[in-house]
Structure 1
């Protein structure tokens, strides 16, 4: 008989019992995101969701997936996990929202070398918090323990969202007209884009997340969760003829807004229409980053855009501010004189 020891999965670095304990710990926050359409509970092989077809004549499903990029590195280094899950949800639901869709449900993927409930639980609880902010159910996810794939203490996140919109009410820019007005909704900071440059600037400047920036630290400013615009925009969609929307992510305001512009129209946006938050001034100064590079890397204070008819601007601003958003009138839509012109000009 062999005298070699009997190996277990735990010997290889995977603790199945720790995963089961984590499921028990997050069950309450996950259940708090439950919508009436959810069938079954946490722990199944698949999340079941009954499509509310009675509310639609021709329902269209809209899906989106994303991560939080290297902002995760700052969160891990600072051991601040209670906002990064909101970032994950926001990056997905805000994208789905651009089409006019209502986010229905969300799934997450959490991968690490060794499962540490003291880290994983607050991360997943913050994912549940993001889902509550978006009105979406967290119907499932995957926690993968993969020793040898990640350094000790590191983890990665990805997410997936599905929403629904009435076919005739989907927003793709095709209804955009000349003289439409572009409104910008304030961001909460850099959101989840440009953090490879952020980390490089911190290194070059010799700064840390504890470095002061006015009445807050750089850590507070840089790790502020991405703003979720779902509920405010849903109120707007119920009352106003929204002609186009854009989620301002990597590429900045001009590049993201150009993605939803029809070929025959263009937009001129005024940079003086809003004052960017101090964190962007600090990044530009500490990294000696040009205005053009800042504008194509960061949101610079505008996280989401909507286009509405000129005669509905005042109503739109009232609705959005009433929902807790800070709103700026950025510019107007106009005819594009020739195809070679930029779809969006930031002046």
Structure 2
């Protein structure tokens, strides 16, 4: 009988001991996010969360999931795992915020070919920092080591979030009416959208992110790969105020077009004045490498507006004051009117 070759899981490229060591390493970051409602620690089969909704009339759970997209390729190339973690949280919680919901807990899914503890710990620490900003608990996740599935040094991340909103206070766009105005809230840059075009633009322009400088003096790499802005604290402040909010929009994939249209009934439209704010230097830099039509720019990128509030004009000063107090920069960018043609029109 031929002797069989001995084989362990580590021989196949999966190191369980390294995985356990990784979990031990990230415990401090994860534990820093724990709200009082969390009953379980890291490492169980599931995260336990005992909510107290006694201060709400009709609590509604809101869930969301998202990833970071092809921005990850650049974040990996330029060794910015912390930004990847922030982005994974922001893309989920900003969607929840667009309904007026407060995030309660978050889970992540990290997949890689070979577990690189230093890099993936950086991702989780970014997740924890973002969760702390949003007062959201990181209750668990999965780190999958899958040899042969990913190129060396590559990883992927998915985020999953659950939040809550009191139904009588939920902001779902149903109150939007002709005459409402739109207050735009500034973005940090491209956030995590449009990076298939970003990468093509950088390729066409033979860009050097580490040495190119934006018109505001920052290195190009810092502008292009800035983390997605977390709008949860600002939205929470608005929800606690007595402002009459008719709609929120997270300006994510689909830009100015899709993310306003999804709010509107069939008889309403919006006009956005793109001259109402200065296009940030990072977009000037990227769009200098190719001829991209105006509407294509505003459908692919946020172009400097990452979130928007739809409200009666008489509420504008109050809302702008709350947002300023929360650290946001705002612009009055458009208005709602009866539809007679396209749902979203840009003027300049």
> Are 2:57 and 2:168, in contact at CA under 8 Å, matched by a contact in 1?
no
Deviation at 1:237, TM superposition (A): 1.6
2:258 aligned with 1:255 = yes
Question: Structure 2: which 5+ residue stretches go unaligned?
Answer: none
User: What is the CA–CA distance in structure 2 between the aligned matches of 1:334 and 1:51, rounded to whole Å?
Assistant: 41
2:206 aligned with 1:203 = no
User: What is the CA–CA distance in structure 2 between the aligned matches of 1:149 and 1:52, rounded to whole Å?
Assistant: 42
Question: Structure 1: which 5+ residue stretches go unaligned?
Answer: none
Instruction: Name 2:52's counterpart in structure 1.
Output: 52
Instruction: Name 1:33's counterpart in structure 2.
Output: 33
Deviation at 1:305, TM superposition (A): 0.5
Q: Deviations over 1:241-278 (max 9, x none)?
A: 11001101111112211111122222111111101101
> Are 1:283 and 1:289, in contact at CA under 8 Å, matched by a contact in 2?
no
User: What is the CA–CA distance in structure 1 between the aligned matches of 2:136 and 2:329, rounded to whole Å?
Assistant: 23
> Are 1:78 and 1:209, in contact at CA under 8 Å, matched by a contact in 2?
no
SS in 1 for 2:257: helix
User: What is the CA–CA distance in structure 2 between the aligned matches of 1:86 and 1:326, rounded to whole Å?
Assistant: 20
User: What is the CA–CA distance in structure 1 between the aligned matches of 2:328 and 2:87, rounded to whole Å?
Assistant: 18
Deviation at 1:296, TM superposition (A): 1.0
Out of 225, 235, 246, which is 1:223 matched to? Answer: 225
2:153 aligned with 1:153 = yes
> Are 2:86 and 2:129, in contact at CA under 8 Å, matched by a contact in 1?
yes
Q: Deviations over 1:98-117 (max 9, x none)?
A: 11111111000000001010
Instruction: Name 1:309's counterpart in structure 2.
Output: 312
Deviation at 1:165, TM superposition (A): 0.8
Deviation at 1:2, TM superposition (A): 5.4
2:176 aligned with 1:179 = no
Deviates more, 1:226-235 or 1:173-182: 173-182
Instruction: Name 2:71's counterpart in structure 1.
Output: 71
User: What is the CA–CA distance in structure 2 between the aligned matches of 1:177 and 1:102, rounded to whole Å?
Assistant: 25
Deviation at 1:57, TM superposition (A): 2.3
Out of 277, 294, 300, which is 2:303 matched to? Answer: 300
User: What is the CA–CA distance in structure 2 between the aligned matches of 1:287 and 1:70, rounded to whole Å?
Assistant: 20
Instruction: Name 2:269's counterpart in structure 1.
Output: 266
Number of residues paired by the alignment?
Answer: 344
TM-score by length of 2: 0.96
> Are 1:182 and 1:307, in contact at CA under 8 Å, matched by a contact in 2?
yes
Aligned ranges for residues 78-157 of structure 1 at < 5 Å? 78-157=78-157
Q: Deviations over 1:291-315 (max 9, x none)?
A: 1211110000000011122111111
RMSD of the TM alignment (CA)? Answer: 1.2
User: What is the CA–CA distance in structure 2 between the aligned matches of 1:16 and 1:55, rounded to whole Å?
Assistant: 44
Aligned ranges for residues 15-30 of structure 1 at < 5 Å? 15-30=15-30
Q: Deviations over 1:64-112 (max 9, x none)?
A: 1000001000011111212111011000000011111111110000000
Instruction: Name 2:326's counterpart in structure 1.
Output: 323
User: What is the CA–CA distance in structure 2 between the aligned matches of 1:84 and 1:55, rounded to whole Å?
Assistant: 35
